[in-house]
Amino acid sequence: MTSSSEHGMTFLELLLVLTILGVLTVIVIPVSSGWTTEQTERDALEAFKATVQQMQAHSIAHETITWLGFSNGGKTYTVTYFDTNEKIISHFPPTIKFDHTSTLRNVSFQGNGNMYNTGTLTFETASGTKKIKFQFQRGRMLLYE
pLDDT at 35 (0 to 100): 67
Mean pLDDT of the chain: 87
pLDDT digits (tens, 9 = 90+) for 7-29: 777 888 888 898 998 888 887 77
Comparing CA positions, the residue from 93, 81, 14, 17 lying closest to residue 48 is 93
User: End-to-end distance of the chain based on CA atoms, in angstroms?
Assistant: 76
pLDDT digits (tens, 9 = 90+) for 68-100: 999 999 999 999 999 999 999 999 999 999 999
- Per-residue pLDDT at 145 exceeds 60: no
In the chain, the domains with their CATH numbers are 38-144 (3.55.40.10)
Residue-wise DSSP of 46-101:
HHHHHHHHHHHHHHHHHT--EEEEEEGGGTEEEEEETTTTEEEEEE--TTEEE-TT
Average pLDDT on 102-121 reads: 92
Comparing CA positions, the residue from 123, 120, 139 lying closest to residue 76 is 123
pLDDT digits (tens, 9 = 90+) for 28-63: 776 666 668 888 999 999 999 999 999 999 999 999
